[in-house]
Amino acid sequence: MTRPTWVPAGTDPETPNAARVYDYYLGGSHNFEADRRMARKAIELWPELPLIMRANRAFLRRAVQYIAEQGVTRFLDIGSGIPTFGAVHEIAREVEPRARVVYVDRDPVAVAHSRLLLADDPLSEVVEADLRDPAALLAQPAAEELLRPGEPVAVLLVAMLHFISDEEQPERVVGQLRDALPPGSYLVLSHASLEGRPDQAGPHQDLYRRTPTPLTMRNREQITGFFDGFELVEPGVVYLSEWNPETPGSVGPHPERMTGMAGVGRRT
């Protein structure tokens, strides 16, 4: 069988990959049967999982559109996975055709897929780096170049910080990123929350403890604390579907069931 153009040479299609599983949750086509089997098992344990992932992606779209409408043309997407279904560069360029995006992920499989997908895009770059080491991440040539001119930059930490444990000091990580940003820059953040579904918080964290990416859920106060040094954009830190919904009806009757909170802040 001919290898699809988005698949790097040497890829093992029998081994599930988190980035491709996420693509499946979003309804994308950049995944293998092994990824779909893993996703279906997770959905058996947590039936609302695809809805939560899509609510998170919908927040990302609204946030990127908002920031592009403010005239920002530079985006640093950390923990980007595979930029396929509703990717940041596509969203931003609907508003700002000049938008530049640097995608960052620590997963070499996701990075390899991304580089193939974006090989012909001169305004997008892909970097392999770990959020836990922000100094090394910011020292990457693509990130340095994005920040060097002093123009505002939007840093996206969408569904990322809950994979940073308290011992790894997520406040320090965000603080180092913040200090590298020029005034007028933005932080876009979503995070798994202890509120909304307290009955599920324990089991969800137990599930992730059995994976290479354990989950640390936090409360609204802790999540809001990540915006220290930023001025929160209205409506502040809210459930995913509540952040500037396209229509009032799109919030849904129980936004708390999405078990995630989100916000956008502007660097002061």
> Where exactly are the structural domains of the chain?
47-267
Q: Is the pLDDT of residue 43 over 90?
A: no
Tokens for 267, please give them.
């660097």
Q: Rounded to whole angstroms, how far apart are CA atoms 261 and 12?
A: 35
pLDDT digit string, tens, across residues 181-220? 999 999 999 998 877 665 555 555 555 555 556 678 899 9
What pLDDT is stored for residue 10 in this prediction?
A: 74
Instruction: Name the least confident of 7-11, 45-49, 212-216.
Output: 212-216
Residue 180 or 29, more confident? 180
The pLDDT mean for the chain works out to 88
Question: Residue 158: phi, psi to the nearest 5?
Answer: -95, 115
pLDDT band, residue 151 (cuts 50/70/90): very high
Helix axes 88-95, 49-69, angle to 10 degrees: 40
What pLDDT is stored for residue 259 in this prediction?
A: 77
What pLDDT is stored for residue 231 in this prediction?
A: 98
Instruction: Name the least confident of 17-26, 183-192, 234-243.
Output: 17-26
pLDDT, average across residues 235-261 = 84
pLDDT band, residue 17 (cuts 50/70/90): confident
pLDDT, average across residues 45-72 = 91
Q: Is the pLDDT of residue 67 over 80?
A: yes
Q: Rounded to whole angstroms, how far apart are CA atoms 88 and 91?
A: 5
**Domain 47-267 listed as CATH 1.10.1200.10:** no
- Give 50-54 contacts, CB < 8 A, sequence gap 24+: 50/25, 50/26, 51/258, 52/240, 52/258, 52/259, 52/260, 53/22, 53/25, 53/26, 54/25, 54/26, 54/27
Instruction: Name the least confident of 106-120, 128-142, 163-177.
Output: 106-120
pLDDT, average across residues 135-154 = 94
pLDDT band, residue 26 (cuts 50/70/90): confident
What pLDDT is stored for residue 63 in this prediction?
A: 98
The string of DSSP letters for 172-211 reads HHHHHHHHTSPTT-EEEEEEEBSSS-HHHHHHHHHHHHTS
What pLDDT is stored for residue 226 in this prediction?
A: 98
What pLDDT is stored for residue 48 in this prediction?
A: 80
What pLDDT is stored for residue 121 in this prediction?
A: 96
pLDDT, average across residues 235-252 = 88
pLDDT, average across residues 57-80 = 97
Residue 120 or 34, more confident? 120
